[in-house]
């Protein structure tokens, strides 16, 4: 089974949607708990995405420095 790479923008959009739903007065406590759990997972994915991006930038910078 192939895993599809999700963009940072999509992850952020999903998290923003969860935050909006959590702020809604129509969300039940059970829904809020489920949304919170999904939000925590999304935050982890976003952190991982940013960490990998930072590592790529460091590699690129080092390669440029070596070429100079």
pLDDT digits (tens, 9 = 90+) for 14-30: 999 999 999 998 999 99
Cβ atoms of 20 and 61 within 8 Å: the answer is no
Return the ∠ at Cα 20 (arms to 31 and 5), rounded to 5°. 85
pLDDT of residue 19: 97
Cβ atoms of 62 and 28 within 8 Å: the answer is no
Does 39 have pLDDT greater than 90?
yes
- Average pLDDT over every residue of 29-40: 97
Domain ranges of the chain: 37-68
């Amino acid at each position: 089974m192939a895993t599809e790479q999700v963009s940072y923008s999509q992850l952020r959009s999903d998290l923003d949607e969860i935050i909006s739903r959590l702020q809604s007065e129509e969300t039940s406590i059970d829904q809020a708990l489920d949304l919170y759990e999904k939000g925590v997972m999304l935050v982890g994915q976003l952190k991982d995405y940013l960490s990998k991006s930072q590592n790529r930038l460091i590699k690129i910078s080092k390669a440029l420095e070596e070429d100079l």
